[in-house]
Structure 1
Amino acid sequence: MAKLYSKKKLAEAPKMLPKQETIDFILNYSKALKVVKTSNGTYENIAN
């Protein structure tokens, strides 16, 4: 079993960078998301 973990990587994986479109979508979603905490629980609302 020790041999499995001692092997070196053959090649490094290429860096995966997100598209600008994806970044914009996530930022806009986080701006629209409102979380309200009440005594009854937590409510999430997405304002369009």
Structure 2
Amino acid sequence: MAKLYSKQKLASKNMLPKKETIAFILNYSKALSIKKMGSMSFEIIAN
């Protein structure tokens, strides 16, 4: 049976997000609001 994997790891262990990425996600989550009306829900981004 053939080996379908390599001995070297392709991903680095020290993968950290940039400060800009963290700031973008935090600002997006602050601007996002979900409103429910009856059986429907609306996602509103207030930017």
- TM surpasses 0.5: yes
Q: 1:21 maps to which residue?
A: 20
CA deviations 1:1-48 (Å, max 9, x no partner) are 4x637x774246312211000100000000000000110400010112
Question: Share of identical aligned residues, percent?
Answer: 52
Give the Cα separation in 1 of the matches to 2:9 and 2:45.
43
Can you give the 5+ residue segments of structure 1 that lack an aligned partner in the other structure? none
Equivalent-residue separation in structure 1 for 2:32 and 2:9 (angstroms) = 40
More helix by share: 1
SS of structure 2 residue aligned to 1:4? coil
Q: Considering only aligned residues, what root-mean-square deviation do their CA atoms show, in Å?
A: 2.1
TM-score, length-normalised on structure 2? 0.71
Greater percentage in strand: 2
